[in-house]
Homo-oligomer: A and B are copies of this chain.
């Protein structure tokens, strides 16, 4: 059945039912929902904690194509990229509003697949989908607004608090998502395990909510999530903080799957591939050493904040020689 046959009201009813049937107990969510989907607004009981909000969109043929990213993956990813922004503030996600523009020949089953996978990720993080909007359009466009809270934490993880002498560290491994995208678009064959890891890094990024909470509790102040690419996002921190940075390329964590599949290209993916959705943060050396003891997530120190010109980033290799990256992050409006 296509959307055009079901009509807007029918589609909205079906989506509402899918969402309402799947609500799980939100034991951790401090704020109680009063009205979910189905009225002019959603409503819930507020509290005195610091509130946070972010919005991020995925546009067909700009951020994704359906031959590479399935409807199921889209549902996951549209929420994941917003969860990653909440993680980068050290917050707890709570409520999502989903605006969906769809061609009228879209299969209703694909829309349900989209929501079921979004709900799967939402449930993992105690997030309720409380509102939305469904429209017709020539291309798919998905806009998710995610609301959250700092809970008992009074401090926020911003981009503007990096200080010269801070270590620069990242969670996880970098470059896998970009390599996964290249694999999927070029139909490259790697061995099975490596393929799965790289593909999933692109299609099913895992937001670092738990790690963001650990960072804020451990006294870290400066965090961004890596969406544009390591160098580009580090530059956001440096500009906002009025500092420079020195990155040691030999220390940048690259997975064995990425190295095996892409050899000398691996470093470029890690530096500027983007869409890793890992956390990039700065802080005192002892704080970061302490954090490493408290998590199974790989935490790697990859450089240092410097007194260089704001936004100036120097890359050095293992022998302290300055090197130049090929690109400096993805700009949506500039063709690659």
Inter-chain contact A225/B40, CB cutoff 8 Å: yes
Contact of A139 among B31, B137, B158, B334 (CB under 8 A): B137
Quote the shortest CB–CB distance from A277 to chain B (angstroms): 11
Instruction: Provide the residues of chain B in CB contact with A39, threshold 8 Å.
Output: 89, 158-160, 240
Binds B, one of A2-10, A184-192, A256-264: A2-10
Q: For the complex, is A75 an interface residue (Cβ under 8 Å from B)?
A: no
Inter-chain contact B46/A89, CB cutoff 8 Å: no
Binds B, one of A53-61, A166-174, A301-309: A53-61
With CB as the reference atom, state the residue of chain B lying closest to A30: B46
Instruction: Provide the residues of chain B in CB contact with A132, threshold 8 Å.
Output: 55
Inter-chain contact A54/B334, CB cutoff 8 Å: no
Binds B, one of A96-104, A244-252, A285-293, A319-327: A96-104
Quote the shortest CB–CB distance from A134 to chain B (angstroms): 8
Q: A44-B50, A156-B34 are in contact. Are A55 and B133 (CB under 8 A)?
A: yes
The quantity of this chain's copies bound in the complex is 2
Inter-chain contact A88/B143, CB cutoff 8 Å: no
Instruction: Provide the residues of chain B in CB contact with A98, threshold 8 Å.
Output: 55
Quote the shortest CB–CB distance from A96 to chain B (angstroms): 10
Q: A143-B143, A331-B9 are in contact. Are A45 and B53 (CB under 8 A)?
A: no
Interface residues of A (CB under 8 A from B): 3-4, 6-9, 11, 31, 34-35, 38-57, 59, 61-63, 85-86, 88-89, 91, 95, 97-99, 101, 104, 130-139, 141, 143, 145, 147-150, 156-160, 223-225, 240, 331-334
Would you mind naming 6 contact pairs between A and B with Cβ atoms under 8 Å apart? Answer: A40-B85, A40-B225, A42-B52, A43-B156, A48-B48, A56-B99
